[in-house]
Amino acid sequence: MNKPAGLLVHRTLLDPREEQFVLQMARDQLGQRVYPVHRLDRPTSGVLLFAFTPEAARFLVAAFMERRVTKRYLLVVRGVVAQEGVIDHPLSDLPARFLPECGDGGERGAVTAYRRLAVAELRVAVGRYPTSRYSLVEALPQTGRRHQLRRHFKHIFHPVIGDTNYGEGRHNRFFREELGCSRLLLHAAGLTFPRPADGREVSVTAPLDDAFSRVIGRLGWDAVSHSE
C-alpha cells in the first residue's frame, strides 16, 4: 500500500485514542486479513508491505532481517549534503524517554547510504544567512532502527524538513507558512524484495502525494524527481 502521511500502521499504546490505522484500512479494502511485515513512522508516507498469510509474513520479515530487501526513500533536508555518502552511526530502538535507564543506551549498528539528487537556494533569510538552501536526497537505509533516517540526517546536521522531533523549527515553519506544506518530507518511494512463493525479485514504487509534489515543483525539482 501507499501509506498516507499522518496515519499509524497499527494500534499502539503510545496513542490509544487513535481510531484509524492502515492495517485495518487494508483489511477492510481487501476483505480479508493481512499481516504487517515492516513499519513506517506515522508522519512518513510511501510503500508499506503486507502479507496475506502468516507464512508469507514470516518469510518477508526474515528477508528484512537478513538485508535481502532494498528500501529507497526520498527526503528534503536543510542545507547542501555531500554528493553521496554513508552515515554509520549506532542508534537505539527505544523511545528517548527510556534511554537513561539503559546504561549503554541500547544502541545497535545503523547504516544509511545516500546520494544528493538536487539542490535549491532560496533568497529568503530563514536562519542567520541571507539565503536558505535545501537538498533533495535519495536514501537507502541498510538497517531499520527507530526513526533511523530522521536521526541520521540530524546527526550530520541536515535535518529532514517537517520533522518536529529532530528538525529545525524555523525551516519547518517556513515550509508550512510560505510553501503550504506541513508534513514531514520523507517518503518511502520504493521497495525491492524476494517473493515468498519462489524467491523471485519484486520491485514496487509509490508516487508522492500532492503536498510533497507541490514542494518539489516550488523548488524546481520536477525533472529530477520524475527521472528518479
Q: Based on the number of CB atoms within 10 Å of its own CB, is 89 exposed (0-12), middle (13-18) or buried (19 or more)?
A: middle
Catalytic residue at 93?
Answer: no
Catalytic residue among 15, 41, 88, 222: 41
Single-letter residue type at 143: T
Best CA proximity match to 49, nearest among 182, 137, 162, 144: 144
**Cell numbers linked to 186:** 520523507
Q: Is 6 helix (H, G, I), strand (E, B) or coil?
A: coil
CB-CB contact of 113 with 86 (8 Å): yes
**Cell numbers linked to 85:** 555518502
DSSP letters of 17-63? T---BHHHHHHHHHTS--EE-S---TT-EEE--EESSHHHHHHHHHH
CB-CB contact of 23 with 48 (8 Å): no
Q: Locate cell 540526517: which residue?
A: 153
Residues labelled catalytic: 41
